[in-house]
Amino acid sequence: MAVIRSANSTPLSDHARIWYGLKNAIAASSGFKSWKGELPAAEAETAPLDQLVRRYLRETLETLAY
């Protein structure tokens, strides 16, 4: 298995590696892409991916809970 490293080249913790993989899988999903397409262009293009995925998950869970 390849070691995933942070921007400063330090190995990521187990939790960080899991989040990295999950975040990228979610960002590649059609649901996320559709949701992101509904955002204002400036926000969709400038917000960090981490922030967008967290917001997507929160909004999706709120919708499901309703």
pLDDT digits (tens, 9 = 90+) for 57-66: 999 999 998 7
Q: What is the pTM of this model?
A: 0.78
Tokens of 39: 């955002």
Q: Region 32-50: what's the mean pLDDT?
A: 96
Residue 10 has pLDDT above 90, yes or no: no
Q: How far apart are CA 24 and CA 61, in angstroms?
A: 18
Residue 6 has pLDDT above 60, yes or no: no
Res 66: pLDDT: 79
CB 20 within 8 A of CB 50: no
Res 52: pLDDT: 97
Q: How far apart are CA 52 and CA 12, in angstroms?
A: 21
Residue 55 has pLDDT above 90, yes or no: yes
Q: How far apart are CA 31 and CA 26, in angstroms?
A: 8
CB 4 within 8 A of CB 25: no
